[in-house]
Amino acid sequence: MSTSTDPLLPTSAASASREQRNSLDIERDVRNYSDFVAGKLGLTTWWTTLTRAGVILGLSLVLGLVVRWVDGHLKNQIPVQVILMVSDGFGPASQTLARNYATHVSQIQTLALDSILVGASRTRSSNSFVTDSAAGATAFSCALKSYNGAIGVAPDQSPCGTVLEAAKLAGYLTGHVSTSRVTHATPASFSSHVIDRGMEDEIAVQQIGNYTLGRMADLILGGGSCHFKPQQDGPSSSCRQDNNDLISAAQSTYGWNYLDNVNDFRNEALSLPLLGLFTADHMAYEIDRDSAKEPSLTEMAMKALQLLSDNAKKQNRGFFVMIEGSRIDMAAHSNDPAAHVREILAYNEAIAAVIDWVDKHPNTVMISVSDHETGGLSVAHQLNGSYPVYEWFPSVLVPVKKSTESLGNMIAAFVEPFNPPVFQQFIHQIITDQLGITDVTADELAFMQTPNRTTSAYTDYMGKMVSDRAGLGWATHGHSAVDVNLYAHGYKSAELRGNHENTDIGAFIERTMGINLKSTTAKLLGGERKVSSEGDGWWSRVQAAYQLFVEKKGHVNANPTADAFVEIHHHEQIIVTK
């Protein structure tokens, strides 16, 4: 064993080195002393040997206990760092799909997540066995079950303190990273409180710091700048329903540093607090991503860890960060296996980088968990009544060049005036060149070459064309109730072994960081009594915004636990049936 005192050695190696070095020094001193005593007393050689052995053994055992106590005491002085990684819509079958694909393409037998599996998470919400991302993320952030559509609120529609807020109030640095809009359900559930997930304009207002607790995040990276830009900027830039310029307010009022391009992200020295919004809407699928325009999930994750860690270290503080592979879910909503598998591989790449980072930083834990499974994926699919073939074919996914979403948008945007022969040829090229399908059937061509279908109709049908040929099955375009895998690595990760409620993840974070969700909730509720210059508390503003949202959407979520309605977030659209 090395006796190096290099501070970059892992803690266990450094401890072993110190223990070995100190043992050798004490052994030398004990040997000299025992020789002196034996000589004075005229003891025989055999007695001297026994004396040496006994004293050395006893002192070595004591030394070992002392060294371990000192190491433990020092380790407890190192601030805790918690990295929560969320693989949205990612079920156990999805990991199998990605592993099989990697084996086919590169002979890789295991993926990064496979090495840190510790258990499973149960996903139901307070009002459904099948959760949505809002309730799922709120279970992680507030450590409580809430209704589908709830963003950082309890079942009674009151705000609940989140682990991000509690960490910030306790002196930690905080942040979140996502490949979706940063106002989307998962990231929003850590940094805002609204009654319905569709209230993304209000979510953005709170994320920059305009609510009772002030700015709670030190870093936000992802897509969705449209909810931060005023309506007057036009529909290509803004999706707000008002003319509030939140980017300007973030910089001038709340002290944010802002960036919106990948070159600045990669090349400039960045400072906290940092708001980085790289796209107007969701960031691109990995299969569609232009690396010259958008950073990868791994790049954003490692930049977040670097910035939070460097700044926390200067102040002897820890940090909390949530990192989401958001678009795993959206590819599964479309039943698009080629986009889905590449999102999972990109997520596993980020996991591998974070595992390596955790190994170099004591008192750091990384948790990886999904909010729910999406698509009801089966890695086998029987297409006819004959005896099923025990096989699926990853080779079908290899030649696919773009997501079905991207291709669906291309088809829907086909230029006028409409020319049937040109359109038919265009469709044929998409099927052969972009999907890699060379055995298209007459029925498939007839469907795809029919103009004026909706984008989702084309998207879903192309997903089925690829899935059928690959031997993959999907039960739904929505979510399922299946338990999802729970992964963990690092500090206290053994506590997460077994099958857990999703709320246990939030409780583990609260316990590990020594933060207090109950007192954070009390501060949120107490803030309602703080009156603004307009005479309204912050939660009154949220409730008013909800009423306006309800009027525009044409439905009232007045009793989220009732069975009077079913709310389905299909392809990120809100559809309500009664």
Per DSSP, the three-state class of 282 is coil
Predicted pLDDT at 384: 80
Instruction: Copy the structure tokens of residue 375.
Output: 């698509």
Dump pLDDT digits (tens) for 313-366. 999 999 999 999 999 999 999 999 999 999 999 999 999 999 999 999 999 999
Q: What is the DSSP letter of 576?
A: E
* pTM given for the model: 0.84
- Per-residue pLDDT, 64: 57
Compute the distance between CA of residue 476 and CA of residue 458 in angstroms, rounded to an integer.
16
pLDDT above 70 for 25: no
List, for residues 98-144, the tens digit of each pLDDT value.
Answer: 999 999 999 999 999 999 999 999 999 999 999 999 999 999 999 99
* CA angle centred on 214, ends 211 and 511, rounded to 5°: 105
Whole-number pLDDT of residue 77: 72
One-letter amino acid for residue 45 of the chain = T
For the chain, how many residues are written?
A: 578
pLDDT at 568 over 70: no
Q: Is the pLDDT of residue 466 over 60?
A: yes
**Which of the two residues, 578 and 432, has the higher pLDDT score?**
432
pLDDT of residue 51: 47
**Residue 133 is a catalytic residue:** yes
DSSP-assigned states of every residue in 145-211: ---TT-BSB-TTS-B---HHHHHHHTT-EEEEEEEEETTSHHHHHHH--BSSTT-HHHHHHHHHT-S
Which residue, 434, 374, 440, 442, is CA-closest to 408?
434
Two tokens, residue 95? 């990991």
Beta pairing class for 173-181 and 117-122:
unpaired
* Burial (CB count within 10 angstroms: exposed 0-12, middle 13-18, buried 19+), residue 385: exposed
Region of poorest pLDDT, from 63-67, 300-304, 356-360, 384-388: 63-67
Average pLDDT over all residues of the chain:
86
The per-residue pLDDT for 52 is 52
Q: Report pLDDT digits (tens) over 420-441.
A: 999 999 999 999 999 999 999 9
Q: Among residues 133, 191, 192, 309, which one is catalytic? A: 133
Model pLDDT for residues 231-266, shown as the tens digit of each residue: 999 999 999 999 999 999 999 999 999 999 999 999
Which residue type is seen at 511? R
The answer to which of 54-63, 384-393, 474-483 has the lowest mean pLDDT is 54-63
Q: Enumerate residues 6+ apart whose C-beta is below 8 A from 323.
A: 83, 84, 85, 86, 176, 177, 178, 297, 300, 301, 304, 350, 354
Burial 539-568 (b: 16+ CB within 10 A, else e): bebbbebbeebbeeeebebeebeeeeeebb
Mind listing the pLDDT tens digit for each residue in 227-238? 999 999 999 999
- Please compute the mean of the pLDDT values over residues 41-49 and round it to a whole number: 46
- The CA distance from 454 to 7, in Å, is 60
- Whether the upstream peptide bond of residue 230 has omega within 30° of 0, thus cis, is no
Across the chain, which distance is largest between two alpha carbons, in Å?
114
pLDDT of 486: 98
Provide the pLDDT for residue 518. 97
